[in-house]
Structure 1
Amino acid sequence: MRSTLIRAATYLIGLLGLTSLPLLAQETNSTSETKVLPKVLRYAFRASETGFDPAQISDSYSKAVAAGIFDAPLEFEYHRRPAKLRPNTLVAMPEVSADFKTLTFELKPGIFFGDDPAFGGKKRELVAADYIYSIKRHYDPQWKSPNLYLLENVKILGASELRRELMAAKKPFDYDRPLEGLQVLSRYKFQLKLGVGDPRFINQFADAGFLGAVAREVVEMYGDKIMEHPVGTNAWRLGEWRRSSQIVLEKNPNFREVRYAESPPADNPALAAQVAMLQGRRLPMVDRVVIAIIEEPQPRWLSFLNGEKDVIEEVPADFATIAMPNNKLAPNLAKRGIQMTRYPRADVAFTYFNMEDPVVGGYTPEKIALRRAISLGSDIDKQIRLARRGQAVPSNGPIAPGTFGFDANFKSEMGEYNLAKAKSLLDLYGYVDQDGDGWRDQPDGSALKLEYATQPDSTNRQLNEQWQQTMNGLKIRIKFKTAKWPENLKSANAGKLQMWGVSWVATAPDGDTFLALGDGGAKGKANKARFDLPAFNALYNKQKALPDGPEREAVMAEAQKLLVAYMPYKMEVHRVFTDMAQPWVMGYNRNVFVRDFWKYIDVDRDTLDRLSKN
């Protein structure tokens, strides 16, 4: 057996061009007995996490980890296109009233939290009160929930009123106060009553990084340290965390029996064959997930190329022409058995202007003119060609492809590049050189100086070069303020950044999440620009209450036009991403609405034996 493994490992190492094959072989001890190593799935984030408490996080990296630990009531099917909801911890899909104002959920019995000292050595079952408590936490000012606006949009009866009452009285949040809109009906059944019927609000209950169930005992035990102590009912538990360096998830021994039962994709025969092989397997299929934080594109790509990572999400644009010339898998990688998944991301990358900033903010004509001129002076095609290596398409508005409300025929000034028009607009509104130093000044004669927040990685450095060239062309001074991702996010939420380039990713296949970028009620949350225009807010709220159809699409289009006119955001691109997986990875696909994909993946050690027989 040992010689067979050695021959197989040697064969695979030579085939893949690797110097080693970590975590795939079996370990042999001095008595020639084999010890099976844990199956480990290894990959990397390209930015640091902030923590793992659903009431406090909004970045996609932290939410991905939280989604593996906590359970939302619903989930999206992994391979289904278009996206389709299904019950997760529920016995069936929720009962929703005809006016979408009453939602009733019934849990499956026998679901247990991971073991934790907070439970006093006893098994702790998931019950309806846990979901009610978890929702209430977003209203507790202590946690400063960045996702509260999603709940306040539908006006859960009594919840916002309780929050305002206790804040005014400077009292702690009262979790035991009965609320009409949040009711425990029985041990396993709970109900929400809303003031605003939203046909798509149900989608939020598939986001475990937002509405995953948290146990009250755990929160009360760890208090302000709860970001470091996630305890949930999903497939994983936090085994190790070295902040901004490495996250290790271990299989949760209390995870309920769930069997793989995914529908095979019709457009990918190779993946469909893998899906067929995995049917009936108990989830999760690997024992550990090890996530490294590798911010620079080159070492992240090389770690995958050298077999140190099993999956690479979002192949860095720097290597797109090498890894996938003409968007096809490179022959040398195909020969190695590398698997490629290419997909348009339901997201938008943008630069926001802080509307409360004295230089770039404001709603007066000259302030609007400044932002529109900066937008017109930005050569997005050049950005896509150089910094993004062709892995994006220009954006004419916030709503992304693959979500309801996106119109491929919608064209606007947001997608226009016209340097002469930009300069004329600045001249017209008094942004001219008044002191003869060659740089434009503000209409009042003070210096016009911009500050752009950024991160210390090569991709952002290339994007910064594009911004520097844009500003040089407009004769506007700009400087770049560099900080780590979590630091910039914290500053952005507090309204302390003047400009920042970031992206926004959909958690459900609907354009509402992109229009929320301009919602006045979401300032400091989704709305990093802190834009607050009554006309836009009215349109945003109107479309939320409408069913999908032409009327809603028309309202969403009008809302987009206001964002173009006032330009609180320079919407730049919708990105196209490519993921790759090693040949021993089975079942990997990309569904941007399924964050905790790890439980659907297997690392196939038998590849060694199969290759040895070829």
Structure 2
Amino acid sequence: MSLSRPLRALLLAALACCTTAAALAAETKVLRYAFPVAETGFDPVQVSDLYSRIITAHIFEPPLGYDHLARPFKLRPSTAAAMPEVSDDFRSFTFRIRPGIYFADDPAFKGKPRELTAQDYVYAVKRVFDPKLKSPAQPGLEEEKIIGLAELREAALKGQPFDYDREVEGLRALDRYTFRVQLREPRPRHLYGWASDVVGAVAREVVEAYGDKIMEHPVGTGPFRLTEWRRSSRMALERNPRYREVVYDAQPNADDAEGQALLQRFKGRRLPMVDRVEIAVIEESQPRWLAFLNGEQDVLERLPNEFVDQAVPGGTLAPNLAKRGLQMFRVPGADVTLTVFNMEDPLVGGYTPEKVALRRAMALGTDIGREIQLVRRGQAIPAQSIMPPLTSGYRSDLRTEMSAFDLPRAKALLDLYGYIDRNGDGWREQPDGQPLVLEMKTQSDQASRQLDELWKKNMDALGLRAVLKTAQWPENLKSARSGRFMLWRVGSSAGSPDGQGSLERAYGASVGKGNLARFALPAFDRVYEQLNALPDGPERQALFDQATKLLVAYAPYRVHVHRILTDLAYPWVVGYRRAPFWLDWWQYVDIDPARRPAAP
């Protein structure tokens, strides 16, 4: 059967289109990796967990960001046209936003491009103060003393609707692209807050269009947009077609060979360099490890502890993995792991001597050395305070009771304050003779189970009966923020170079938000507030040390370790580098299709 010339031409054109489409599909660069913990949602002012914030950090843009390669850190403009103008007294900050930046398309914009304006940042910060949203960031931002915002919030707390249209003196748009922040008191580190996705620009019409569903509809100006979400299972983000022209540039240290090589390779390349990011939620360590070994994931963040000896024996990449061209990235984490005591719980909470003694005895009876050796496989160092490494306030030479394991002393402390076994069943009772049963909230993943087993053995050795209550991590977070728990174990990562952010976990105004322990001590709050106004230096460090002493004395948290983070990546992932404080990194990596095996 012969084809007519027009039909033949049409068929050839169709084949050409198919070939072109296939070629384009083959060139699509996809970055794949997994979260070990489920996300909670994607509204930057409402989320506090690390993994949700990794998503929001790639969607919502603050005016400032961090240089991707500079170490230890360096602020630089993001949506701002230049670094802000700062008054000599650190009370006035003027930001100018670059014109021509657009939000990702969304039905809320009714088919029209929506340009970023200064008013979007004013609105974003006001949302943090709206009591209805219960933002975990509100206490910390309130401490920045932006004139007028506390009063705006107070009016809403008295029953009035939160008035987003009311102009406040301390946060005003001066024109379409300029806004000014004015503070009641000096804040030398105020700019750090403007590098967080918490103040990432949001469009008011999007928030109003989706209402209570805004956690499911993130719309920002950043390099990626959410295109797929199966809760607690899978997320996919794609390059934002509206993203402006941003090219790879950085200022690595002169002696940073790796950073200099990355800059030379990528300088001038348009960002993002990948087209799509696919994230699976795999809470169990073994399936996550196997998925990576099978090539289903390109990057493995935070190598599970139980596979350290197999993957990086002695801190060196195993020969079988090196033969496959895998890359290892091993750095100290700017984080701390904690056991949280609910200070409002009738058993473990409170400030009386016997309650303090119970918590301190539990801390002294917790064997951190075995945790590091057996559970973490050497991938951690004992924590002496709540301040993470790489932040101001952290002291590597500090030694406190928090790193001590002293079982005889712990038992003596319990005996002294009346926590004894009155009925001979082998378990201690409370001083008034009532039963004593500790309840730890936990998760079902393997790492949590290992930590649970060790903790249970530690409590057994003290004669303290302990039970475990298992739920998903987002549910445990919700319980902790509402005060419906006794004990919970959690990790905390630094969000900026300032260690004061970690102290917010004990600040009274942050109860129910960052302060999961619900610790309320006026003496601590006074130290916390003094820290705000002081410049970095010996006087401020002395206050950090004073805050640490109070936390060690009252023990609302039992600090455990600072983790050593080991990440692995396949050879086709180019440009990966772990960031100390910031969460956005996808746009800085590339996928080399020539080195990636074809899908089966």
TM norm structure 2: 0.94
Map of 1:220 onto structure 2: 208
User: Once the 2 structures are TM-superposed, how far is the Cα of residue 31 of structure 1 from its aligned partner?
Assistant: 10
- Paired residue for 1:102, among 92, 97, 117? 92
User: Once the 2 structures are TM-superposed, how far is the Cα of residue 175 of structure 1 from its aligned partner?
Assistant: 0.3
Q: Which amino acid aligns with 2:588?
A: Y
Q: Which amino acid aligns with 2:61?
A: D
User: Once the 2 structures are TM-superposed, how far is the Cα of residue 592 of structure 1 from its aligned partner?
Assistant: 2.9
Task: Select between 424-433 and 138-147 the one with higher mean Cα deviation.
Answer: 138-147
Residue 342 of structure 1 pairs with residue 322 of structure 2: no
User: Once the 2 structures are TM-superposed, how far is the Cα of residue 196 of structure 1 from its aligned partner?
Assistant: 2.7
Residue 182 of structure 1 pairs with residue 171 of structure 2: yes
Judging changes above 3 Å, is the alpha-carbon distance between structure 1 residues 206 and 51 closer, same or farther for their aligned structure 2 residues? same
- CA distance in 1 between counterparts of 2:372 and 2:527 reads 32
Q: Which amino acid aligns with 2:500?
A: D
Q: Which amino acid aligns with 1:408?
A: S
Map of 2:410 onto structure 1: 422
- CA distance in 2 between counterparts of 1:31 and 1:178 reads 54
User: Once the 2 structures are TM-superposed, how far is the Cα of residue 518 of structure 1 from its aligned partner?
Assistant: 1.0
For residues 299-341 of structure 1, give each alpha carbon's deviation from its aligned partner in whole angstroms, at most 9, with x where no partner exists. Answer: 1111111111111110111101111011111111112111111
Map of 1:15 onto structure 2: none
Judging changes above 3 Å, is the alpha-carbon distance between structure 1 residues 256 and 448 closer, same or farther for their aligned structure 2 residues? same
User: Once the 2 structures are TM-superposed, how far is the Cα of residue 52 of structure 1 from its aligned partner?
Assistant: 0.5
Residue 113 of structure 1 pairs with residue 103 of structure 2: yes
* Cα contact 1:297–1:458 (8 A) shared by 2: yes
- CA distance in 2 between counterparts of 1:98 and 1:178 reads 25
- Paired residue for 1:48, among 15, 35, 38? 38
* Cα contact 2:140–2:501 (8 A) shared by 1: no
User: Once the 2 structures are TM-superposed, how far is the Cα of residue 34 of structure 1 from its aligned partner?
Assistant: 3.9
Judging changes above 3 Å, is the alpha-carbon distance between structure 1 residues 567 and 131 closer, same or farther for their aligned structure 2 residues? same
Map of 1:67 onto structure 2: 57
Q: Which amino acid aligns with 1:554?
A: A
- CA distance in 2 between counterparts of 1:535 and 1:450 reads 28
Map of 1:157 onto structure 2: 147
- CA distance in 2 between counterparts of 1:509 and 1:35 reads 42
Q: Tell me, what secondary structure is at the counterpart of 1:321?
A: helix
User: Once the 2 structures are TM-superposed, how far is the Cα of residue 110 of structure 1 from its aligned partner?
Assistant: 0.3
Q: Tell me, what secondary structure is at the counterpart of 2:560?
A: strand
- CA distance in 2 between counterparts of 1:274 and 1:358 reads 55
- CA distance in 1 between counterparts of 2:257 and 2:182 reads 45
- CA distance in 2 between counterparts of 1:134 and 1:163 reads 14
The aligned length equals 581
Map of 1:475 onto structure 2: 463
* Cα contact 2:507–2:528 (8 A) shared by 1: yes
* Cα contact 1:139–1:159 (8 A) shared by 2: yes
User: Once the 2 structures are TM-superposed, how far is the Cα of residue 32 of structure 1 from its aligned partner?
Assistant: 12
Q: Which amino acid aligns with 2:415?
A: D
Map of 1:144 onto structure 2: 134
- CA distance in 2 between counterparts of 1:511 and 1:151 reads 15
* Cα contact 1:275–1:587 (8 A) shared by 2: no
Judging changes above 3 Å, is the alpha-carbon distance between structure 1 residues 320 and 517 closer, same or farther for their aligned structure 2 residues? same
Q: Which amino acid aligns with 1:395?
A: A
User: Once the 2 structures are TM-superposed, how far is the Cα of residue 176 of structure 1 from its aligned partner?
Assistant: 0.5
Map 1:442-481; keep pairs closer than 5 Å.
442-481=430-469
For residues 458-497 of structure 1, give each alpha carbon's deviation from its aligned partner in whole angstroms, at most 9, with x where no partner exists. Answer: 0000000111011100000110111111101111110111
Residue 489 of structure 1 pairs with residue 477 of structure 2: yes
- CA distance in 1 between counterparts of 2:25 and 2:120 reads 38
Residue 319 of structure 1 pairs with residue 299 of structure 2: no
User: Once the 2 structures are TM-superposed, how far is the Cα of residue 512 of structure 1 from its aligned partner?
Assistant: 0.6
* Cα contact 1:237–1:251 (8 A) shared by 2: yes
Q: Which amino acid aligns with 1:605?
A: P
Q: Tell me, what secondary structure is at the counterpart of 1:138?
A: helix
User: Which consecutive residues of structure 2, in runs of 5 or more, have no partner in the other structure?
Assistant: 1-15
RMSD of the TM alignment (CA)? Answer: 1.7
User: Once the 2 structures are TM-superposed, how far is the Cα of residue 517 of structure 1 from its aligned partner?
Assistant: 1.3
User: Once the 2 structures are TM-superposed, how far is the Cα of residue 434 of structure 1 from its aligned partner?
Assistant: 1.4
- CA distance in 1 between counterparts of 2:21 and 2:476 reads 53
* Cα contact 1:439–1:477 (8 A) shared by 2: yes
Residue 134 of structure 1 pairs with residue 111 of structure 2: no
Map of 1:240 onto structure 2: 228
User: Once the 2 structures are TM-superposed, how far is the Cα of residue 506 of structure 1 from its aligned partner?
Assistant: 0.5
- Paired residue for 2:191, among 202, 205, 214? 202
Map of 2:400 onto structure 1: 412
* Cα contact 2:331–2:565 (8 A) shared by 1: yes
- CA distance in 2 between counterparts of 1:200 and 1:118 reads 36
* Cα contact 2:442–2:448 (8 A) shared by 1: yes
Q: Which amino acid aligns with 1:582?
A: Y
Judging changes above 3 Å, is the alpha-carbon distance between structure 1 residues 380 and 217 closer, same or farther for their aligned structure 2 residues? same
Map 1:315-394; keep pairs closer than 5 Å.
315-394=303-382
Moved over 6 A (4+): 27-33
User: Once the 2 structures are TM-superposed, how far is the Cα of residue 410 of structure 1 from its aligned partner?
Assistant: 1.0
* Cα contact 2:69–2:259 (8 A) shared by 1: no
- CA distance in 2 between counterparts of 1:505 and 1:33 reads 42
For residues 500-543 of structure 1, give each alpha carbon's deviation from its aligned partner in whole angstroms, at most 9, with x where no partner exists. Answer: 00011101112111111111111111110010111111111111
Percent of residue pairs bearing the same amino acid type: 55
Q: Tell me, what secondary structure is at the counterpart of 1:557?
A: helix
Judging changes above 3 Å, is the alpha-carbon distance between structure 1 residues 100 and 69 closer, same or farther for their aligned structure 2 residues? same
Residue 82 of structure 1 pairs with residue 72 of structure 2: yes
User: Once the 2 structures are TM-superposed, how far is the Cα of residue 404 of structure 1 from its aligned partner?
Assistant: 1.0
Residue 581 of structure 1 pairs with residue 565 of structure 2: no
- CA distance in 2 between counterparts of 1:371 and 1:597 reads 39
Judging changes above 3 Å, is the alpha-carbon distance between structure 1 residues 510 and 238 closer, same or farther for their aligned structure 2 residues? same
Judging changes above 3 Å, is the alpha-carbon distance between structure 1 residues 490 and 576 closer, same or farther for their aligned structure 2 residues? same
Q: Tell me, what secondary structure is at the counterpart of 1:69?
A: coil
Q: Which amino acid aligns with 2:358?
A: L
For residues 568-590 of structure 1, give each alpha carbon's deviation from its aligned partner in whole angstroms, at most 9, with x where no partner exists. Answer: 00000001001111100110000
- CA distance in 2 between counterparts of 1:580 and 1:68 reads 21
Judging changes above 3 Å, is the alpha-carbon distance between structure 1 residues 97 and 270 closer, same or farther for their aligned structure 2 residues? closer
* Cα contact 2:503–2:528 (8 A) shared by 1: yes
Map 1:23-38; keep pairs closer than 5 Å.
34-37=23-26, 38=28
Q: Which amino acid aligns with 1:567?
A: A
* Cα contact 1:348–1:572 (8 A) shared by 2: yes
User: Once the 2 structures are TM-superposed, how far is the Cα of residue 545 of structure 1 from its aligned partner?
Assistant: 1.0
- CA distance in 1 between counterparts of 2:162 and 2:511 reads 22
* Cα contact 1:271–1:587 (8 A) shared by 2: no
* Cα contact 1:345–1:574 (8 A) shared by 2: yes
User: Once the 2 structures are TM-superposed, how far is the Cα of residue 271 of structure 1 from its aligned partner?
Assistant: 6.2
Map of 2:248 onto structure 1: 260
